[in-house]
A and B are shown apart, each in its own frame.
Chain A
Amino acid sequence: MEKEIFEQGLNHNRRKFLSRLSLGIGSVALGSLLIPDLFSGKQEAEDALMRALPHFAPKAKRIIYLFQNGAPSQLETFDYKPLLRTNFGQDLPESIRMGQRLTGMTAGQDAFPLVGSYFEFNQYGQSRAWISSLFPHLSSVVDDLCIIKSMHTEAINHDPALTFFQTGAQVGNRPSMGSWLSYGLGSENENLPAFCVLLSRGKGNGQGVYSKLWSSGFLDARHQGVQFSNSEDPVLYLSDPKGMSKDQRRRMLDQVSAMNELSYQEFNDPQITTKVQQYEMAYRMQTAVPEITDVSKEPDSIVKLYGPDCLVPGTYAANCLLARKLSENGVRFVQLYHQGWDTHDNLPNQMIGQAKDVDQASAALITDLKQRGLLDETLVIWGGEFGRTNYCQGKIAPENYGRDHHPRAFSILMAGGGVKSGIVYGETDDFGYNILENPVHVHDFQATVLNLMGIDHEKLIYKHLGRRYRLTDVHGKVVSDIIA
């Protein structure tokens, strides 16, 4: 221990020495001439950059991301392709496929027979957007939606694709989008975490979600997503053990923080301060969380709006309602995952179930935010990690078929938060396979989301292991066409 303390002292001195050196007259003169930001040493310049967040006036203050995990088919939802019905059973032309790689699940198929949507499509709202009969409620709020039909990604399997969407990289260990926002913008309400995660599961074929998706990666641990569970304790380990009074807890925290303060004075480790702050926040959460998770005071019309399942903890509808409550209480980023969209077979049946789970509550969330005047500052995102193939996987019948993973084109929805409403952006070819106009890459999507939150995606950076990291890596272009 002696030795470690000694070395800690050495490190401390060297760091101080180096940082002072960087403040020397020479570097001030040269630095200020070359790059104004260099004036006080690089790291501090970066800190200053972070302090200036948001970079410009934000359009959206908060995000609710309704992730449809497993990848809902765009062809049965928002991308209407009548040609696939007329060409039922015909092989996908190579001129369209153009060597697109396949998953292990259909790579062995001899043929790729096209199959059209089992569900009828209709045009809705002033935007006359096509939506399938699976989503009667979302159809009714179509004029609040921005439907992007030209999303594309790089990954072809669930885990990398999901990780790519959430963290900007296909491999793990990078901070999630919510963590980046927590890091960049902090919490609006200091009595709640800035980043909350809610899980639900439909009856369709599911794919797992893992806590790495809401990990803070190399960012400070306080930016990690906090998962709410549907048990009696929505946030695990938050409530006091039986027999402990609020007063006792307070006294304990005071003592602990006094000891931590001593420790801080000795080691100067900023993690100690973070820890003290986290204890304090947990203490405040003990009051704030029950206030928010209590749905008993919601008016009856809310139950009708979201559907009666919103009172059954752990359902998608209940999570949507909770998401609204968290969001209106200042949680920056509420991340929902609804599992069960991986429709490799028995697609029509599975989609009916999944759509029933999410349609009403998704639309309800938009309506509910709107009637409180909050939709303009809350960005709602709905979508999966990739799309599904226009050809059938496995046995084919007009009313029973399956679709494999398809990264080249798929649809997502956005609403509120400074996004143009009642528009359809991007277009795919008649086969629904390739993008014809206005492609939106995952990094473009992320850049746009950050932009809506008032952040320049090229300036939200964190230096780790000798390089600077961004959510959008070295890519991403803001899709200004969809910004109101």
Chain B
Amino acid sequence: MSRSTSLLENLLFFWIGGVVILLLGGDYLQVPDWLLVAGRLHPLLLHFPLVLLLLSTALLWSRSENWQTLAPKILLLGANFAGITSLAGLILATEDYEGSNFSWHKWSGIGSFFLAIGFYFLKNVKLQIKKSIGLGLAILLLLVGHFGANLTHGEDFLLGPLLAQEKQTLSLEDAEVFRHVIQPILESKCVSCHKEGKVKGELRLDLVEGILKGGKSGPFFLAGNPEQSLFIQRIHLPLEEEDHMPPKNKPQLTEEELELLRLWVLTGGKVNQKVIELPAEDPFYQLIAEKFTKEKTYPFSPADEEDVADLNTFFRKVRPIYPGSPALEVTYFGTSAFDPSSLEELSKVSEQVVRLKLDRMPLENVDLEFLSDFQQLEEVYLNFTGIPESQLSVFSQLPQLRLLALSGNALSEVGTKHLLSMRQVKKLFLWQTGLAIQKQEELKKALPTTVIDFGYDDKGVIYPLNPPKIEFDEVLFQDQTQVILSHPIKSTQLRYTLDGSMPDSLQSSRYTHPLTLKSSTQLRVKAFAPGWIGSETTDTILFKKGIVPTSYSLSTLPNPRYAAKGASSLFDGIKGKANHSSGDWLGFTDSPFDLTLSLGGLKNLSVLEISLLLHESAYIFPPQSVELWVGNSGKWSKIPVPNLPMSTKIQDPRFSLLSLPLSNTQADQVRIKLSPISKLPSWHPGAGAKGWVFVDEILIH
């Protein structure tokens, strides 16, 4: 045995002695200041025994002889350091330390010291036994280390990052200001020195009572007054100052944490306030709110994924309200595909369904009692399902229910009674339920915190009807044509006139069956219905084809842009569309329309019709003057023509029928002259400019 080994073995007894004295003497000993410094070396010294003892144990597993023989030497060295560390630790313990963590650390530390010594002197045993003792020692050392770390870094230091993540998933709804925002800051930055077992400045921040009580220097804070609060002052002192907290060598508070602590004191330093109770515009709220997920968290576990997958069909969707959420939403689609028995299949997920949407599904004969198992239901949509009101009783039994949509289902006495008992519901949709006003008032009064939407009520609202529709085969017909009048609202009455006058609700003919027209006609229709204002007039002009002249010529040419196919377009039997550039219209502006036509022999003429286009915003007006001559064997005579009404406002493009009676005049030639308006009236945006005349057909009867 070498001298050094023997010296080290002897030293062990010295350490044992010291440890025993300190253990027994403990609190009665007055430790001198210089020894306190040695005590504070404990956190440094502890690394030596830890490494050496673990190494010596590990060497037992080595296959190399050299290493194996080294093991006892290292163990001896380690045991010595364990002694020194224990001594230092016990000296340090005379400062402010107490609590369970502390005593666990103290006794397991001393225990490992003695175990190491015993292990060293246990020489002639099997390797197997040595290995197991070594393992025991290693475990004990880990425990010592863990309790020690808890003491300096605070509890849960090790698992901190994992625990913090869990905190993030806390929902805003459940979060509390003190417990989830302020306390974590204190715990991470302050509690390691102000807690059970290490009560620096007689201040304990690990307990709510300690925080409210304060320490040696006075109360911890003054509610509502951060400037006068001791701890706010301390944490804002310059880093160099002795009173600055946390001490210089400890982790410092961040800017955000400083601000949060200040705002907490400012808002009264309450320890039981919920985050959502703070006003939304409060900067404190805004700073905190984003720390928590706004997504609601649920207390139940997710349903079996396969069950959920099985429940999905083309007509029923069952899925999480968002990925990763255990809460499920069930939606039914397709009224005609609805199978009432499919509702029972949902019982597999009855604990997870929070939303159930059955809008428009026929539920007249469905018993909803099964829903009483769906205790997590928060939102139920039953619009237009025809559910009997007696079925509503089940919803009183759902504690989480906050939305119930019943629009479109008939409700009365029974329904109201059930609704009155649903105090948990926050939103009720009762449009089209036929509830009498007094029932509505009763509900509103009984459920003051519930938002009840009775929806749109059309009573007393009077709007004009939209205009009726006129349907026919062709604008230009041969002998006769059929016209059908219709209106999208089936209950309307349609009244019409055939002479261009305005239809009214009393005098004008009432439309019952399709009309047959035998001459060119201006048809005007209006719709009437009780509870509505009469519609605007729909009108249309239907043209009857005339005789085609044998020859015709225009003495002036139409504007080249609107020349159609020349004069032949006037007799081609093709009615232009209500659009002057459709290519069917002849347009005149600089020169009048001046047409001479021959009928190929004397004919009895009853009426001559000219089909015009009017569209004021395109400068297309009725002609300023109309002149008409008939020729009989080369003799011309002028026929008087009444003055035409001129446009007075801008209207949509439309047809106009200029009908000139000839009262059975005998003629073989006709000449028509239409002069465009030379100056547009003053109300027109193009006042003073030349107007246009557009013609597409001339019909001679």
A residues with CB within 8 A of B: 52-58, 188-191, 203, 284, 287-288, 291, 299-301, 303-305, 307-309, 311-312, 328-330, 345-346, 349, 364, 367-368, 370-373, 395, 400, 454
Contact = CB atoms under 8 A, between A and B. Distances in A.
Given A191-B333, A301-B432, 5 more contacts: A287-B336, A329-B333, A370-B455, A371-B454, A372-B381
Contacts of B634: none
B639 interface: no
A54 B322 contact: yes
B153 interface: no
Q: Which of A299, A304, A373, A454 has the most CB of B within 10 A?
A: A373
Contacts of B617: 346
Interface in B27-79: none
Contacts of A305: 456, 458
Contacts of B322: 54, 56-58, 454
Contacts of B393: none
A371 B489 contact: no
A308 B467 CA distance: 9
Contact of B323 (A54, A288, A370): A54
B364 interface: no
B336 A372 contact: no
Contacts of A301: 432, 456-458
A371 B334 contact: no
A372 B325 contact: no
A373 B456 contact: no
In the A-B complex, the 7 residue pairs with the closest CB atoms? A371-B455, A311-B488, A373-B405, A371-B431, A57-B322, A304-B458, A301-B458
A299 B427 contact: no
Interface in B160-217: none
Given A287-B337, A301-B432, A305-B456, A372 B489 contact: no
Contacts of B429: 371-373
Nearest to A370: B453
Nearest to A368: B456
Contacts of A372: 359, 381, 383, 405, 407, 429, 431
B331 A367 contact: no
A57 B295 CA distance: 7
Q: Which of A304, A307, A309, A454 has the most CB of B within 10 A?
A: A304
A291 B294 CA distance: 38
B579 interface: no
Given A56-B322, A301-B432, A371-B453, A308 B331 contact: no
Nearest to B652: A203
Given A328-B359, A371-B429, A373-B403, A57 B321 contact: yes
Nearest to B649: A349
Contacts of A309: 466
Nearest to B404: A373
Q: Which of A56, A188, A349, A372 has the most CB of B within 10 A?
A: A372
B349 to A, nearest CB: 18
A276 to B, nearest CB: 15
B283 to A, nearest CB: 15
Contacts of B455: 367, 370-371
Contact of A291 (B335, B461, B465): B335
A58 B319 CA distance: 13
Nearest to B317: A188
B332 to A, nearest CB: 10
B489 A190 contact: no
B526 to A, nearest CB: 14
Q: Which of A53, A288, A364 has the most CB of B within 10 A?
A: A288
Contacts of B431: 371-372
B405 A345 contact: no
B437 to A, nearest CB: 16
B466 A308 contact: yes
Nearest to A349: B650
Contacts of B381: 372-373
A328 B335 CA distance: 13
A291 B685 CA distance: 49
Contacts of A371: 407, 429, 431-432, 453-456
Nearest to B335: A291
Interface string B423-439: 00001010110000000
A300 B529 CA distance: 13
Interface of B: 294-295, 314-315, 317, 321-323, 325, 331, 333-337, 359-360, 381, 383, 403, 405, 407-408, 427, 429, 431-432, 453-458, 461, 463, 465-466, 488-489, 532, 617, 650, 652, 685
B295 A291 contact: no
B463 A308 contact: yes
Contacts of B532: 308
A11 to B, nearest CB: 33
B472 to A, nearest CB: 18
B466 A312 contact: yes
A372 B382 CA distance: 9
Given A312-B488, A395-B685, A373 B314 contact: no
A166 B465 CA distance: 35
Contact of B314 (A54, A284, A300, A308): A284
16 contacts: A52-B323, A53-B323, A57-B321, A57-B322, A57-B325, A190-B333, A191-B314, A191-B334, A304-B456, A311-B488, A312-B488, A346-B650, A371-B455, A371-B456, A372-B405, A373-B407
Nearest to A56: B322
A27 B17 CA distance: 60
B325 A303 contact: no
Nearest to B333: A189
Contact of A300 (B315, B331, B427, B458): B458
Nearest to B382: A373
A345 B650 CA distance: 14
A288 B314 CA distance: 11
Contacts of A291: 334-336
Contacts of B360: 328
A272 B455 CA distance: 48
B257 to A, nearest CB: 24
A300 B359 CA distance: 19
Contacts of B457: 301
A307 B650 contact: no
A454 B322 CA distance: 9
Contacts of B488: 308, 311-312
A477 B405 CA distance: 35
Q: Which of A56, A300, A308, A328 has the most CB of B within 10 A?
A: A308
Given A58-B322, A301-B432, A308 B334 contact: no
B448 to A, nearest CB: 19
Contacts of A312: 466, 488
B515 to A, nearest CB: 21
A292 B295 CA distance: 33
Contacts of A307: 463, 466
B295 A191 contact: no
Contacts of A368: 456
A407 B488 CA distance: 40
A312 to B, nearest CB: 5
Contacts of A345: 685
A308 B468 CA distance: 11
A188 B463 contact: no
A218 to B, nearest CB: 25
Contacts of B489: 303, 308, 311
Contacts of B294: 57
A380 to B, nearest CB: 16
A320 B655 CA distance: 32
A304 B333 CA distance: 27
Contact of A287 (B334, B453, B458, B466): B334
A372 B381 CA distance: 8
A346 B427 CA distance: 47
A307 B489 CA distance: 11
A373 B451 CA distance: 11
A312 B489 CA distance: 9
A464 to B, nearest CB: 25
A286 B453 CA distance: 35
